[in-house]
Structure 1
Amino acid sequence: MNFLTQIDNLALIALLLISGAALFLPTLSTLISGKGLSPTEATIWINRRKAYVLDLRSEDAYKAGHLPGAKLANASGLTASIEGMKLDRKHPVVLVCDTGSHSRKAIAQVKSLGFSEVGILEGGVQAWKVAALPLVKQGK
């Protein structure tokens, strides 16, 4: 009976280690590539920390619905777009695209412009919509 108890304990320890690693991997990915923000976390950054929201989508997608206070930043000319906005480098920046993938690619570029804290909206505008948060729409 003692031998079976030891096997059960080893199985539980292995399960604990595997589940812990599975929970930590997304955090590790975020630490390496930049801060991923849930819609709730992004809202906190925007409201409490006065973060700038830069929308990297096309102008048509931006007009169809963007986060409140978001500024359209041309993804292909991101450096020029940001420089033209004359943003205070002390404030954090939240990058937004449709799903989060384009934003993740732009983190290093935005950090190289002197912003020390840059986050992305994980899941992009799609996640914002799923969370039933408001979008601002502009006519064409």
Structure 2
Amino acid sequence: MNFFTQIDNLALIALLLVSGIALFLPTLSTLISGKGLSPTEATIWINRRKAYVFDIRAEDAFKAGHLPGAKFAPATALEAEIGKLKLDRKHPVVLICENGNDSRKAVAAVKTLGFAEVAALDGGIVAWKAAALPLVK
């Protein structure tokens, strides 16, 4: 192999590493900072990672429309509601509220129940609707 072939190989390896890191950074930053998940990231967590989804809005708002598979767990009794369920603590949890503020505050409380990965949907149900994703009644 000549010198230029080795440089080409190193460039390809560097490109591979940089692109891999770029793809992983949004997930890593979400886990570290607890900022929240975009509707797309939440969909990936729900479909691929079998995340539990809890809607912490008022019951009438939940009945008006919620994410498919979401369980109602009011913010005032969130820990008690989740604690009653026999859930695998290895699965991630996605919390949903109206605009993302209440669910972001509830992340720490759910983590105390032993779930390793807990995140809030950034923008809440408003962002979900804006992304034209389905709701069930």
Per the normalisation by structure 1, the TM-score is: 0.74
Deviations 1:68-94 (A, max 9, x none): 000001210111100112211010000
Question: Partners of 1:49 and 1:129 in 2: how far apart?
Answer: 22
Structure 1 gap segments, 5+ residues each: 1-26
Matched, 1:76 2:76: yes
Q: What SS does the corresponding residue of 1:113 show, helix, strand or coil?
A: coil
| Contact 2:31–2:117, Cα closer than 8 Å, also in 1 | no
Counterpart of 2:109, as a letter, is Q
| Contact 1:45–1:51, Cα closer than 8 Å, also in 2 | yes
Question: Partners of 1:56 and 1:33 in 2: how far apart?
Answer: 21
Matched, 1:34 2:47: no
Rg (Cα) greater in structure: 1
Structure 2 gap segments, 5+ residues each: 1-26
Q: What SS does the corresponding residue of 1:66 show, helix, strand or coil?
A: coil
Task: Please name the residue that 2:108 is paired with.
Answer: 108
Q: What SS does the corresponding residue of 1:86 show, helix, strand or coil?
A: coil
Identity percentage of aligned residues: 75
Question: Partners of 1:89 and 1:35 in 2: how far apart?
Answer: 21
Task: Please name the residue that 2:49 is paired with.
Answer: 49
Question: Partners of 2:107 and 2:122 in 1: how far apart?
Answer: 13
| Contact 1:54–1:93, Cα closer than 8 Å, also in 2 | yes
Counterpart of 2:97, as a letter, is C
Task: Please name the residue that 1:65 is paired with.
Answer: 65
Counterpart of 1:104, as a letter, is R
Displacement of 1:33 in angstroms is 4.7
Q: What SS does the corresponding residue of 1:36 show, helix, strand or coil?
A: coil
Task: Please name the residue that 1:92 is paired with.
Answer: 92
Task: Please name the residue that 1:10 is paired with.
Answer: none
| Contact 2:54–2:71, Cα closer than 8 Å, also in 1 | yes
